[in-house]
Chains A and B, each alone.
Chain A
Amino acid sequence: SQQGEEDPQALSIQEGENATMNCSYKTSINNLQWYRQNSGRGLVHLILIRSNEREKHSGRLRVTLDTSKKSSSLLITASRAADTASYFCATDSSNTGKLIFGQGTTLQVKP
């Protein structure tokens, strides 16, 4: 079963614009991770945020976590065509690395 729900399911923007994806989950977590997947290939780890953190940055990526609302958001600034991919949030509730993924957001960045 899926833990998280992601919103929107699909997002289409122009190059240079910002993209925001949201993730909601149901149970308490130890950490939440965001992954990118290109064309049905393997997942690439983007960023991990722990339950006691509220915000993390990595390059053009900014992740926020609101444990009271059981939600997280991923912001990609100044998007590029190469950012076109599916983005998944994954929660780790047991702190054992067993990840429960959301359904994903498909992002299309038009050049």
Chain B
Amino acid sequence: DAGVTQSPTHLIKTRGQHVTLRCSPISGHKSVSWYQQVLGQGPQFIFQYYEKEERGRGNFPDRFSARQFPNYSSELNVNALLLGDSALYLCASSFRLAGGNEQFFGPGTRLTVL
């Protein structure tokens, strides 16, 4: 079975631009979470979706938005990019929303903002 997939692998944007990152969860998984990992730090929670509804949001500005589609894939959108948005963006999927379930992470999308 395929694991969590993310696209694109790498992305270079300039300040002020908009970016869309995509994630496909493991087949059968209904929960998708997004994390931002700045170089040298641990991942920080951005969003959690379950059954196409937002179930959690981290401390990120409104420039960050996300959605989950009927097939449980997800998009993370970031508007008006800032240099500080440069990071590895990780997507994780799990079968259920409830805690205690193992989350499977994708390889990430490396975003560089110039």
A binds B: yes
* Bound complex: CA A50 to CA B101 (Å): 11
**Is residue B106 within 8 Å, beta carbon to beta carbon, of the partner chain?**
yes
Give B42 Cβ to nearest chain A Cβ, in Å: 3
Give A50 Cβ to nearest chain B Cβ, in Å: 7
A-contacting residues, B4-48, CB 8 Å: 4, 31, 33, 35, 39, 41-45, 48
Q: B42 near A88 (CB under 8 angstroms)? A: yes
Type the 1/0 row for A1-45, where 1 means its CB is closer than 8 Å to any CB of B.
110100000000000000000000000001101010000111111
Residue numbers in B under 8 Å from A68 (CB-CB): none
Tell me whether A99 and B98 are in contact in the complex, defined as CB-CB below 8 angstroms, given that A1-B59, A42-B108, A88-B43 are known contacts. Answer: no
Residue numbers in A under 8 Å from B100 (CB-CB): 30-31, 48, 50, 92, 95
* Bound complex: CA A95 to CA B100 (Å): 7
Nearest 7 pairs of A and B residues by beta carbon: A101-B42, A95-B99, A43-B105, A42-B105, A42-B107, A92-B99, A98-B56
Tell me whether A103 and B105 are in contact in the complex, defined as CB-CB below 8 angstroms, given that A48-B100, A96-B99, A97-B99 are known contacts. Answer: no
* Bound complex: CA A2 to CA B37 (Å): 12
**Is residue B88 within 8 Å, beta carbon to beta carbon, of the partner chain?**
yes
Q: Which residue of A lies closest to B106 (CB)?
A: A42
* Bound complex: CA A36 to CA B25 (Å): 20
Return the contact of A45 from the options B90, B104, B110 (Cβ within 8 A). Answer: B104
Q: Which residue of A lies closest to B3 (CB)?
A: A42
